[in-house]
Every structure is written in structure tokens, then in C-alpha cells.
Structure 1
């Protein structure tokens, strides 16, 4: 379901008021038989004010961006951890995923590390296995995140079949040199720069913990 714009009425208000004012001025002018100089000046001023209001409303429509349309992701909500994980890893993954799901637009996430899926949380797809495609491979090789702002325009989206099929945006954030944090949003262009910095910080924290615990196994 598309997310409505909560400021839509406010954005349209100057156009409505300006248009109404212009119509009332016209009606008043038509119903007045004798036009005095003062009324003529008042009419000119009213037309100018109405024009300014209408122009302001039109500018607001262009300057203030419409919020991206959100959808209801297809899938079941869940929280799945890989079996036999150390308790410290379970706590760290639960903490990190909770923060991401409650403080960013993320609705589905996967932690992929050392060739296995450690965590799936949020709205889950029926497929649980992660197959490394070109995008994920590039993230692992370059150690740089990839943000697909509007997934439906990317042909490479087929490699993310382990996320809900109608996922709108994806961030692939490296976890050290051996893993990737994959985040799915329910609206395109919805992650802010602050979100990206927040995600990078959590991924770095996970990299330290996973490296210390799983690197010693």
C-alpha cells in the first residue's frame, strides 16, 4: 500500500487560498456597478496577493520532495539464527538487528559471514540460502558498500531472491573481509546518509565481534 503524504493538504493550501481569493475578487468586481479608485487599487493588490499565493503553492510542489511510496513486503515475519552459534554471537546479532529494524527503514535483513547465513530477521522470503552474485561478490572484493536505491530498475536484483520479492531498496554493507550485512527496505530511495553511516558503524562492530569469536574457532 502506498504511503500517503502527510503534508499534502498543507502543500496545496496556498494554491486553494490564492485561487479562492482571485475568484471572490472577480465576483465582487462583476457585482459592483461603480468602481472607485480605492476599490480599483484594492483589486490590484488582491490580484497580486492571490498570484503570490498560487505561485508559492506551485513552488512548494516542486521544492518539497514527495516521500517515497512504501509497500507491504511479501513474506512472513521471523527471527532465524544459524544453529550452534556461540552465545556471544547470538546476543550481538540480536542487538544489531533490533537496532537496524527499529531505527532505520530496514524491514528485512540477512547477515552472511564466512559463507553461511548467520541471521535472518524481519520480513523473510521463503528462500533462506544466500547465493553470491555479482553485486555481493563486488562488495566482498572491494570492501565497499553498495546501495541499490530503487531495486526494480536493477537487472541484478534477481540475486537477492532470499529477500522479499517486492523489496524496494537494498544496502549491502561489508562486515570486515569475510561477510556482508544485507538490508532490505520497503520504499525506494528511503535510506538517508545518516542511515548509511549508522549501518556502517554497526557492521564494523559486528566485524570485530565475529572476527574475535569465529576467527578463533
Structure 2
């Protein structure tokens, strides 16, 4: 795997738009997997429909990918050309981003792909989040202004522990697609938290 440095300030900028009152996350979908990697249930809902407590717990999960130690726990991974052709993970994630996680058939394909390649002795959950961030323009003094310079749409994917009641625990690995770099989308990069997800989805 080939890596590219990320900027800590970029990742922190995104986390500031991941609060209950100021969230840029609009939809979440996922599946509960048994220890054999088989789907045991799924969900797909608008983020705004969640209770404040559910929003808070979900946002805490998403920020794990961004709060990890930059270029150590969280790395920018170049997406190899072998992962960009028809039927590739690159095409699938772009399609999920374009449909804002509203294509259940595509989601199930990804759940099954991860289930076949992620090895766990216990049940776990796969969680996806769709977000869209209006990147504020910055003046010459670097202060943010009200108007947006461009829009950054993204998918966050997570693999998490769950308990016997399907309550979500620790985030084991995850990604931000595309990576956010220099205040914009780095279309050839994915930010990964723990290299496990890179080995599952982007091994080329």
C-alpha cells in the first residue's frame, strides 16, 4: 500500500461540523454481522430522524476516524488503479456517495464483501455515513467567511464491535472517502483508520 501525508487541520475542520446542532452528516446505513461474516440484520435511515442521543453516539463513532493520530493511526492511502475499474470498490463508493446511501443492493454487496474478508471471532457491525460539507471561503487573514467556496461530499465507513444486545462498542477500523486534503476532496486518496480496512477494500 502507498501512502500520502494528511493534514491534521483538515481533519479537525471536518470534526467541527460533526456536532448534534451543526452536523454535516445526513444519512446512515449499516449491517449487523455474525462471527462468520454473515448479515444478521441491517438499517438505513436519515440522520435527522435519530434522537439527539443517537446522533451524539453516532457522531462520536464517525469522529474516531478523524481524531486518530494523523499519519500514524489515520493515513492517506493512494487508491491503486486496479481498484478503479468497472465493478471496483472505487466505483461502488462513488456510486454510494452519488445516491447518498439510498441504494440497498449496493450496500448489501459491500456488506458481503467486507464479511468475506474481515475476520472476527465475535459479531460486529458495519456502518456507513453520508455527509456533505459546504467548505467556507477563507479571507486573506485565514478567517472563515460565510459563503461557501465548494462542496465536499463524502462517505465514512466503520467496522465496530457490538455486544449481545447489538449495542455498538469500539471502532476497530474505518475510512473517509475521498480523503479531505488541503480543504478539498483528494479524489485518488482514502483516509484510513487502522490499516485493516485498506487491506480489505483497497489491496489492489
TM norm structure 2: 0.27
Q: Structure 1 or 2: larger strand share? A: 2
Q: Structure 1 or 2: larger helix share? A: 1
Higher relative contact order (CA 8 A, sep 6+): 2
TM norm structure 1: 0.26
